[in-house]
Amino acid sequence: MLILALITLVLHGALTGLFYAFSMSVMPGLNAIDPAQAEAAMRSVNRKILNPWLFVVFLGSPLAALVAGFLAGAPAAVWFFAAAAVNFVGSFLVTVAINVPMNNALDAGTMPFKAYSPRWTTWNTVRTVACAAGLVLVGIGLTGL
């Protein structure tokens, strides 16, 4: 159980770091260059990020927390379940409902980068905060093992 809990912690940390890096460096960097170049760069990033390593972290975080919740005893289970829920809502649902459709619009050329960037970054920051909260919840769950 401890190994699964530590894997859950690492997955949450990796996902938090990924989203944080985008909001704090990638998007400001893209905002500092010509919008046409930023659009092309973001399109490339959006294509390249769809790889097995992303899916392990993105899907693995809430799933690992959920499994850890089922395997952990009280009170740790509650914290792992809470981490799974926060991650699912704040990362998975926000990504599927908001960020991916915006990525698709950028890719299709129906949303200019100047409209895309501030909205995308705001919602990415929501994902960052949710993942950080999930990371904290997993950490608290680890203390209850």
Q: Is the pLDDT of residue 145 over 90?
A: no
Q: Is the pLDDT of residue 119 over 90?
A: yes
Name the average pLDDT for the chain. Answer: 97
Q: For residue 14, give the nearest of 142, 143, 135 by alpha carbon.
A: 135
Looking at residue 89, the DSSP 8-state letter turns out to be: I
**pLDDT tens string 23-80:** 999 999 999 999 999 999 999 999 999 999 999 999 999 999 999 999 999 999 999 9
Distance CA 97, CA 127 (A): 12
Q: For residue 99, give the nearest of 90, 44, 17 by alpha carbon.
A: 90
The number of distinct structural domains making up the chain is 1
Range of the domain at 73: 2-143
